[in-house]
Homo-oligomer: A and B are copies of this chain.
């Protein structure tokens, strides 16, 4: 296993550089003074170039070829070697120059996005977006040749290995049919609900304290992580140093809380990965963002938008913000499960959420295959928002096509992972709750520990050693089945 051991050393070094890369990106989003943008972009581009160079050294190819002959006895090592080869093949077909160009362009367009989104300035943002898309597509095309795949499938596979347009199309078509029917029934049913809107302002320090109480209840490990503020909530870092962020508005506190719960789901996954594989590809959770989003959405949607969750949290909120009727658990639960079509994906309820994703999926698909051009995006967006959600984003690009950081950051092909992850999460949770029918009774009193324990043992421990489909069969007894999600929606929102 001499060759494989050498590979492990190289990938260990790469994991160190990945950690550094993530902290630098976290720092840029959370800490960096605005005047350092150019310096930061140059520095990170140099780092990315170095990582690319390390990964594509000639000897890596030779070591991989030789290691394949070494008949690794261990299942994890085999999976690790396969992931090493995939990473190598994806990188080696792209020149260092193109890698650095894409890095610089991604960072520049993300910086431009922060500025121009604020101004609702689509034209200002356009050239940055076009460049990043062009370079990202170029990379995908090169990888597509190597893997004999369609370029958009390559982009999907990057975040959701095991999925492609052929497997996603029927799933999303099904949701496109079933959700509007459910949506209409739910909106009608909720139309008689009396909502009591909590009165602010809600001091940011208190919102943070509340969020941290939720994180504690969910068993986030503060020895190995922290909570901060950024434009767009995210989770980054590595298993020993997990950084989650949220954003606060003083007029209401539920959206920051929900963001924190979502990112805590990601964080529990990272913190639950097996420590002895932490610096190898197989030990990462990030190989499948579908699995990653399954964890965040399971925690946010199944657990933290439940009545028992608010039964635990409402007294804490009242303690922080002062007594008011709107802060009782039943009302907070109603607010957090209110269904209403809107502009913003991250603020969407769980019923309309998949429609936001389907729009993005169809958009990416058509952008990559060339049947849609970037210039036409605002009109396309408006047309589809009207069709799917009955709202117009005409002239409101800030809350339309410019709302997400993903495309400016060069993350094309990511979006399907949210809805695929949501479906996976619903299916996993159905299994969990069957095994632990008393979970919500305990949760009411603040005891959520069964959740983390079960996820640690059944999902997190496996890291990237199993394909998504194998893991689903192992844990739930069947392949991905969207019915679990549909049933959850029917049960929670229509009482059946």
Which A residues fall within an 8 A CB radius of B?
A: 13, 16-17, 19-20, 23-24, 27, 31-36, 38-40, 42-47, 50, 221-226, 238, 240-241, 278-279
Contacts and interface: CB of A to CB of B under 8 A. Distances in A.
Contact of A241 (B20, B23, B36, B222): B36
Nearest to A37: B240
B33 A19 contact: no
A213 B40 CA distance: 27
Contacts of A47: 16-17, 20
Contact of A43 (B17, B32, B35, B39): B17
Contact of A19 (B16, B39, B238): B39
Contact of A20 (B33, B43, B226, B238): B43
Contacts of A221: 35
Contacts of A226: 31, 33
A224 B40 CA distance: 12
Contacts of A278: 39
20 contacts: A16-B45, A16-B47, A17-B46, A19-B39, A19-B40, A23-B23, A27-B27, A31-B226, A33-B223, A33-B226, A35-B221, A35-B223, A35-B241, A36-B238, A36-B240, A38-B240, A39-B240, A39-B241, A39-B278, A50-B50
**Residue in A16, A50, A222 with the greatest tally of chain B CB atoms within 10 Å:** A16
A16 B49 CA distance: 12
A55 B32 CA distance: 27
A36 B241 CA distance: 5
A332 to B, nearest CB: 30
Contacts of A222: 33
A430 to B, nearest CB: 33
A223 B20 contact: no
A483 B19 CA distance: 51
A44 B19 CA distance: 10
Nearest to A14: B46
Given A33-B223, A221-B35, A222-B33, A16 B241 contact: no
A21 to B, nearest CB: 9
Closest A-B pairs by Cβ, 6 of them: A36-B241, A16-B46, A35-B223, A16-B43, A35-B224, A39-B240
A27 to B, nearest CB: 6
Contact of A24 (B23, B38, B238, B240): B23
A20 to B, nearest CB: 5
Contacts of A42: 16, 279
A31 B33 contact: no
Nearest to A34: B223
Nearest to A23: B27
Contacts of A225: 33
**Residue in A20, A38, A221, A223 with the greatest tally of chain B CB atoms within 10 Å:** A20
A47 B43 CA distance: 13
Nearest to A36: B241
Contacts of A17: 43, 46-47, 50
Nearest to A279: B42
B32 A24 contact: no
A238 B31 contact: no
Contacts of A241: 32-33, 35-36, 39-40
Contacts of A36: 224, 238, 240-241
A20 B19 contact: no
A50 B10 CA distance: 12
Contacts of A46: 13, 16-17
Given A27-B27, A50-B50, A19 B34 contact: no
A34 to B, nearest CB: 6
Nearest to A46: B16
A19 B34 CA distance: 16
A351 to B, nearest CB: 36
A495 B23 CA distance: 52
Contacts of A39: 19, 238, 240-241, 278
A358 B38 CA distance: 42
A241 to B, nearest CB: 4
A241 B17 CA distance: 21
A233 to B, nearest CB: 18
A469 to B, nearest CB: 31
Contacts of A23: 23-24, 27
A31 B50 CA distance: 26
A273 to B, nearest CB: 12
A221 B35 CA distance: 9
